[in-house]
Every structure is written in structure tokens, then in C-alpha cells.
Amino acid sequence: MNEDPLQIAHLQLEEAAEMMDLDDGLLDYLKTPDRVMQVKVPIRMDDGSIKVFTGYRSQHCGVRGPYKGGIRYHPDVTMEEVIALSMWMTWKCAVVDIPYGGGKGGVACNPKEMSSGELERLTRRYTSAILPLISPDRDIPAPDVYTNPQIMAWIMDTYSIFQGYSVPGIVTGKPVELGGSKGRISSTGRGVAITAREAAKKIGVRLNNARVVIQGFGNVGYYAAKILSEWGAKIIAVSDSRGGIYRAEGLTVDKVLEHKVKTGSVVGFNGTKEISNEELLELECEVLIPAALENVITKKNADNINARIVAEGANGPTTPDADRILDDKCELVLPDILANSGGVVVSYFEWVQDLNRYFWDEERVNQELERIMVKSFNEVLEVKRELGKEATWRAATMTLALKRVVEAFELRGLWP
Ligand code: GLU
């Protein structure tokens, strides 16, 4: 099976389209992005040399509103990957019914090897290169893999300099001091935790002492772990790119974070057994949360997954040929476009607050997030019930999203 993300995105779309009996022309329309921009990003490195990076911004489908989606900095970023990720954003925004289309950007670089000054120059130059595509009404970037609130602050500043006044609504995931939303930093992990909790309730699993395994201990994995453990779950294993740690009695999440901050990895944390990322995925547990990168659950290991619920914190962690196996193995699979949508939901709140110049307290943010996540989870359940066993959880979720996108398309009509 090919693990090319664009091919995977197409397969997922085709499966849902078939279920809905979607018109072939409409399917073609949705397979291609509205536009993609490739840009040259030359910057001065700290040693005085010039280095040229390549960046992209893809705008997949704008029928439901402005394009929305993160920017990732990663050595493996390609145009195809960015297009696929922008497609997933279209579905994600539709699943949670927020008024956006899908966008995504990326720069092929290794931020772990770059200084803060180099990252700032890269961000500013990339922002200036995609200026013709972005605006608070047109396309609103956000953080993604290896980008963070500081990088969003530089994007906001660069855009504002060109406009001649401050435009906080150009980007979400900013620091709170610059018009960011309270609760945005924890929102993706919180959304994962809420959907996992609802799934547990649905299949009759008590969250108290439920065993949770999390791959990835970045922003998403950490907050999912923290919030689920606050709700009584037992986090028995976590990992990062260097490997994983296991403790049957459960981990104290904040202590693991302290260790990671100090040493650069979760590995070596006191009183834990070291395990590989592959072993971690196969641990017996109630909830498994892949919250790292793409293509970690494949045809090779799907059959060994030993979780009752899988909640996809990462984008695209499961390959299509693993989907069916996973669906048969697990009682409930929460696909990425539902499970990790809490981030873009609070991005939406942030944008609304920026446009209104009126800011909410964290309690309101979390309450409204809770409401949208629970509602969306129930809507997916309803579609899954209608479609029956034949549809995987992903296909059911995709069908809900696709219906909403097609409705908007049909109401607007095709110009000219
Ligand atoms: N990058 C995140 C995602 O994949 C957040 C996007 C956003 O907030 O616009 O959902």
C-alpha cells in the first residue's frame, strides 16, 4: 500500500463519495485544491550564508468559508502532503460545522537544527511570500507540526507591518497577549480527551482507571494525557520520537513533562520500562491515542492493536488498508477529522474574538468547545448508525463532512 498522503486523502474521499452516490464531476471538483502556491524562502543563516527553503500554501475548498489550517515546519513537507492536509481541513471544519474551508501550509526545513533568529527570518520571509493568498477573510493560518505561538506572533507582525496596522485575525494560535485565545494551547488535546470520554461512555467503559496509551508527547499528546488523567484515567504509556515509556500503575503526566523538558525526551523517566514506539501501539489498553505523525497504524500492525477505542490525535495516523482491520478490532475509532478538531474549533473562537475585539474567559472557551465536540461526536454516531457496519468510523465521519460541503456547493451553485 502506498503511503502517499494525497493518495490516501483521495481514497478516503472516494469511499465516502461512493456511499453518498456523489456525482463524478463533483468528486473531481473535490479531489483538487482551489489553488496551491509554491514559494521560494531564501534567508540569511547565522553563519552569514544564504540558504533557500521551499514553502507551500494550499487552499483546498472555500465553499463553506475562508480557508483555515496550520503551517508545518518539517523536513518531509512536500506539495502533495500539504494538499492532502488541506483536504483534511475541509472535512474537519465541516464535521464540527464551523464556517471555514480547508487550507494548509508548510516549509520543508528542520526547525530542530535552526536558531530562533533563523526561524524568525524564515517565518517572516515565508509570510511575505504567501501574502497574496492570506487575509482574515480569505485564509487564516495556525500552528501545526513544529510551529508554535511565537511563530504565529511573527506571522501576525509581518502581515500587520505590510498592512500598516495590527491585524490579530490574520492568524490563530497566537500568544494570548497579542489576541490569542485562552484555552487554545490545550484545545486539541482537550478535544481528543472529550471525544475519547464520550466514546468510552458510549461503549460502557468507565474512565476511572481506564488504561490510556499515547504516542507522541507534543502539544496534543501532553494535554490529552493531562486532561484524561485529571478525569481519572491511568496513562500507562507515552512516547516521543526517541522512544516510549511504560508503567502499569500509571504515569504522573506533569513529572514526565518536567523530565522531557530537562532531558529532551520522555525516555529514561524514573520507574518506567523503556519500550519502542511500535511496542507502545500494541499495548493492551482501553484508549489508544496516536498523537505523533502520519502512517503509524498500517496493514502490518493494525491486527495487533489491543485497544477498545482509538482516538486519532495526529492527522492521518492510519493508512486506508488498516482502517477496516482497525474497525473490526476496536469497538470505536475516532478519526482525526473528529478527534483532533478541538484545535481548529478554538482557532475559530480566537478569530471570532479577534474580529469582535472582545475576549472570553477560559471557562467560556472550554464550555463552548465541550458543546461542539459532544454535538459533533453524536452527529457522527448518528451517521454511523444509519450506514451500519459497512461504513468504517472514518467513512461515516467523512460522509457527514462531505454532505455539508456538497450542500454548500449546491446552494452557491457553479459560477458562471
Ligand atoms: N493544525 C491544526 C489542525 O490540523 C489546527 C488548524 C487551525 O487551528 O487552523 O487541525
The DSSP annotation for 263-279 comes to: HSSSTT-TT-EEE-HHH
Residue among 31, 40, 68, 104 flagged as catalytic: 104
Respond yes or no on whether the N-terminal peptide bond of residue 416 is cis (omega within 30° of 0): yes
**Cβ count near 308 (within 10 Å):** 20
**CB distance 91 to 102 below 8 Å:** yes
- Give me the pLDDT at residue 79, please: 98
- Give me the pLDDT at residue 2, please: 54
Active-site residue, 104 included? yes
- Residues forming CATH 3.40.50.10860 domain(s) in the chain: 32-167
Q: 144 CA to middle of ligand 1, Å?
A: 6
Q: 240 CA to middle of ligand 1, Å?
A: 20
Q: 387 CA to middle of ligand 1, Å?
A: 28
Q: Is 70 in the pocket of ligand 1 (CB under 6 A)?
A: yes
Q: 354 CA to middle of ligand 1, Å?
A: 17
- Residues forming CATH 3.40.50.720 domain(s) in the chain: 187-339
Question: pTM for this one?
Answer: 0.97
CA–CA separation, 385 and 73 (whole Å): 39
The mean pLDDT of 159-174, rounded to a whole number, is 98
Condensed to tens digits (0 to 9), the pLDDT of residues 185-195 reads 999 999 999 99
Q: Is 152 in the pocket of ligand 1 (CB under 6 A)?
A: no
CA–CA separation, 84 and 102 (whole Å): 10
pLDDT band for 47, please (50, 70, 90 cuts).
very high
Ligand 1 site-directed mutation target among 188, 294, 354, most atoms within 8 Å of CB = 188
Quick one: 187-339 is in which CATH superfamily? NAD(P)-binding Rossmann-like Domain (3.40.50.720)
The mean pLDDT of 348-371, rounded to a whole number, is 98
Condensed to tens digits (0 to 9), the pLDDT of residues 292-334 reads 988 999 999 999 999 999 999 999 999 999 999 999 999 999 9
Shortest-distance atom of ligand 1 to CA 344: 8
CA–CA separation, 406 and 13 (whole Å): 12
Q: Is 69 in the pocket of ligand 1 (CB under 6 A)?
A: yes
Condensed to tens digits (0 to 9), the pLDDT of residues 106-151 reads 999 999 999 999 999 999 999 999 999 999 999 999 999 999 999 9
- Give me the pLDDT at residue 1, please: 43
- Give me the pLDDT at residue 3, please: 80
CA–CA separation, 6 and 11 (whole Å): 9
For the chain, give the mean pLDDT: 97
Percent of the chain with pLDDT over 90: 98
Burial class, 97, CB count within 10 angstroms (exposed 0-12 / middle 13-18 / buried 19+):
middle
Shortest-distance atom of ligand 1 to CA 340: 10
Q: 153 CA to middle of ligand 1, Å?
A: 16
- Give me the pLDDT at residue 39, please: 98
H helix or E strand, kind and range, residue 157: helix 149-163
For domain 32-167, the question of CATH label 3.30.200.20 is answered with no
List CB contacts of 24: < 8 A, sequence separation 6 or more: none
Per DSSP bridges, beta strands 35-44 and 273-275 are unpaired
